[in-house]
Structure 1
Amino acid sequence: MTFSLDDIKKIKANLPVTINDVITGIIFLGTRLYMQDTNHELSNTESTALVLLNTRNTGSYKSIKDMTKPNAEMPWGNHFAFLHISIPNLTKTEFSNPLDFVLKAHRLIKKKRNSAIVCLTARLLESLRKFKGPETTARYIHGILKNSSMGITNLIGPVEQMALANHPISGFYFSVVGAPQSLVVTMVSYVGKLRVSVGVEKGFMDPCKFKSCIENAFQMIFKAAVQ
């Protein structure tokens, strides 16, 4: 799916939240709409989203040689943490006013993001890697993923158009493969557009219906915020 970043910024302008909060609110609302449409009785079943956060210090460009030095300021490798966010329940009030749903998601994310859990998780992963090795760390992360309902992550992409061998790139997506979750949502911005990729468990979820629910959630939130 592709959304206009300008439209998302219009939503943000009418709410005391960040762009990431708006995006996450759209995904959460779309997920609840899908659950409601699939099985109304289970529409508000307790569900947990694992939100991945980049913890790398990206103050300036560093070469690989600099990053592989002992005690480097920006060491080589992936550096991330994650937050467990309970997907808000969808009530009749929030169905008629979806902005309340975005605000609820904002409060949940802000509470977790400002806690010590982000730093502690990052240090735990780094300690596991140093003392137990990458395989033990990978098994730990796999267990965390397995015990969550869905995963969400996004990247800030280029604001100017790129080219590959002098051929302009009109757009691209990225995805996380091999995750044990039934639903993984990845997003990347590129030249004023937000491109969303969704991976679902085959035979368990209807990707076309889920896509429709996400688009419906965006329209509900956009109309409520702008009009």
Structure 2
Amino acid sequence: MQRASPNSNQSTGSTALVLLNMRNLHDYKTVRDMVRPNSESPWGNYFAFLHVPIAKAKPSDSQFSDPLRFVRKAGETIKRKRSSFAVVLTGQLLEMMKKCRNPEAVARHINRTLRNSSMTIFNVIGPMEKLSLANHPVKAMYFTVIGTPESLQVTMISYAGNLRVVVRAEQGLIDSELYNRSLLDAFDMILHDACGKQ
């Protein structure tokens, strides 16, 4: 944000919406197991929201000159909030809305929540081993969620030891060349800092 407009985040607050999987899975379940009545892990999407404020960075802040410290701090914030009672209540609220009203009411609530968020972050842990479809090896995979109203979306998936990051932005929101340079600089700083501290 500072490169595009040095004072942009001094007056505005940005919030990331992290979607958490609330499905209680300890091992692989077949569809037949999940559709049974009173199943341990019923069929369907079970998730909750986690609102995470995006830190307001100043070039003079020491925490931003050390990229690993910034990443660790963001991770600690997400872990702390993920363990909060608010996440459980959000998941139960969505479930109660689905039972008492209907799935459309839940969809409207989720859409309103997404509309009031600056960005969303999705993370999927993919397969550790390479896959093939109809005897054709899958070299890589990625995903994005379309049709959602937020301005910026970041999706991440791991596949066979590689990480794919997809960024989807509202047209005209971000200078894509500047964003790509900034993202590569950030990854390089984190890699350099991580390798230098080992």
TM-score normalized by structure 1?
Answer: 0.80
Q: Which is further off, 37-46 or 140-149?
A: 37-46
* Alignment-derived partner of residue 28 in structure 2: 61
- Shift of the alpha carbon at 1:174? 0.5
Q: 2:7 aligns with which of 32, 36, 41?
A: 41
Counterparts of 1:1-227 in structure 2 under 5 Å? Answer: 35-44=1-10, 45-91=12-58, 92=60, 93-227=62-196
1:54 corresponds to which letter in structure 2? N
* SS of corresponding position for 1:53: strand
* CA distance, structure 1, for counterparts of residue 147 and residue 121 of structure 2: 14
- Shift of the alpha carbon at 1:84? 0.2
2:25 corresponds to which letter in structure 1? T
RMSD: 1.4
User: Is the 8 Å Cα contact of residues 88 and 101 (structure 1) preserved in structure 2?
Assistant: no
- Shift of the alpha carbon at 1:212? 2.3
Number of aligned positions between the proteins:
193
* CA distance, structure 2, for counterparts of residue 61 and residue 191 of structure 1: 19
* CA distance, structure 1, for counterparts of residue 77 and residue 98 of structure 2: 29
User: Is the 8 Å Cα contact of residues 90 and 101 (structure 1) preserved in structure 2?
Assistant: no
Q: How much identity, in percent, do the aligned residues show?
A: 50
* Alignment-derived partner of residue 31 in structure 1: none
User: Is the 8 Å Cα contact of residues 88 and 104 (structure 1) preserved in structure 2?
Assistant: no
1:46 corresponds to which letter in structure 2? G
2:98 corresponds to which letter in structure 1? R
- Shift of the alpha carbon at 1:96? 2.3
Q: Which is further off, 61-70 or 152-161?
A: 61-70
Gaps of 5+ in 1: 1-34
Deviations 1:1-22 (A, max 9, x none): xxxxxxxxxxxxxxxxxxxxxx
- Shift of the alpha carbon at 1:66? 2.3
* CA distance, structure 1, for counterparts of residue 93 and residue 28 of structure 2: 26
TM-score normalized by structure 2?
Answer: 0.91
* SS of corresponding position for 1:215: helix
- Shift of the alpha carbon at 1:88? 1.3
Pick the structure with more helix per residue: 1
